[in-house]
Chains A and B, each alone.
Chain A
């Protein structure tokens, strides 16, 4: 924990609001551009020999003679192993494969400002300056189902809080506001599931997929591929919520 004086040293280019009494600091925190990460992961996958079928929706998955049949509008794809990582669409796909995934949707709205000179050298979960030098202020937590609209009320409270912490941002302009849906499990931790009824079927859903990407791409992927033990992953099964296997 840091005092206000110590915080001031971390942010020499901008004043702190009078209500700021201190802060928390972790040397492990950082900012990853989620869009660049997504692009990099896709590129890495293709470079490793994978194929991405874009714009193809999976309408359902069947088990047929120890194989999985994925029904696409354009035809059927067969696979010996299938990983369901379809975000909020995962529940319907996983259910017939004997995996129940409890989660709710939570809307998060984020406000993005014009590009300004570098003033926030450290990211925080509420406000950070990106490599593109815009400032991201976020995010709300709202239970509104599938609605991804943005509201002026949310913009108002996000702006007010940003100014309360950094009053110098008052005259900076917001250029964009967006919202997305978070997949929230009952304990907020991810669910990694391995179907006991249909070996070869897996599910992976989470919030904070950007933060967890490194583990998903290495530790988890290795275990799904059959290297290493599933034992330590077991604790992330949905069974921890006492759900009945379907």
Chain B
């Protein structure tokens, strides 16, 4: 991966600032005072900028447990005119797996037929580790409450806003006072360690309070702790200060990605890194920025939300944030995006594009087979009966069976030997694509129509340097927001909070539509 790449060099040092001249970033300075030059810089400081760790009444500078925080960058950016904010997040204690009684917990196994993430030839996991589920109780909550007066969350010491969807245990028992228990997931940290992550028990209460309360959890009676949970506060930069390519509006060739933009989560961070890396490269060559549409990828939704709506609490992705969910599926990400990456000139995409093309071709072959093949009642009625689907009276096309609810190809091929023998030449992923396409055809079409409608607004460009203050028929808020965010298209303008449909009509008239 990283070290295997001939284009990547490494240097270990803390970076306290960038070299910025006349609104252009041309490199970095290091803590040793070295100046290293570059065409562009991508900042991915995570939780480290002026990071402050809280455990109970104690707090100390740090970017993560056991690591120093980073100062200098925030201060420099503020002096350059940026605005910064403060957020917080937390993590649960890590404990000794040898001290747990798993008999008192529910076991949670991996899938019997596990999948994987990459569309490349990575291995499928063979042996898996189990996780366990246990619960807190009134007793546990009582124990935690005893420490509330020493909690940095409740005594006002923590100022930053935390992730609403990943609250600490003290937050949960406070906010959901009527719930007498909360679920905890007991997750192994790896193959060769007994360390356990207690998912659901994020806390910044004093370590002795965490310890006492955890020991009251079923199965944790003899629990030994490795590391206490803690909360961390850090600086972020409201992402409305970015262009859609993740370059800052104020400083040319300076890009931000990850938690520094107010997001939370590895996946959210990683995808921004990917986009910033690509765009930093494109900017050097004066090529068009790489922007994914909301209808093309969750990544597009994420960046569009950040830049146009901003966020004042840690932003994480949900399916509900995407308006085109049936198009943005996990099974078709390669079909949606690999051709785009190939066209951009991303290395190593030739073989992968071929793969995608043959997947598309094979999936439509499978669909055609279902269109053309008839199913005999004699052969299929037993199967239909077994899944409570009404029996056939005469032959029908196979497609009309697949599109019935409760039916899936996997079960169907088990009872139809000729179907099994036809499908055995294709891999699971290709069959899934064909199946989803047949079953959800109507929904897919409807969403595609919405996308096309939206795309028409998306293609109406707005001038780069227009002063919206001069357009008096816009609402006051719209004028302010449009001047601040400077949308590239009417579509983008329509998603800015504070820009109403009537403002959009004004803009459409203004550009002559």
Partners in one complex: no
A-contacting residues of B (Cβ < 8 Å)? none
B-contacting residues of A (Cβ < 8 Å)? none
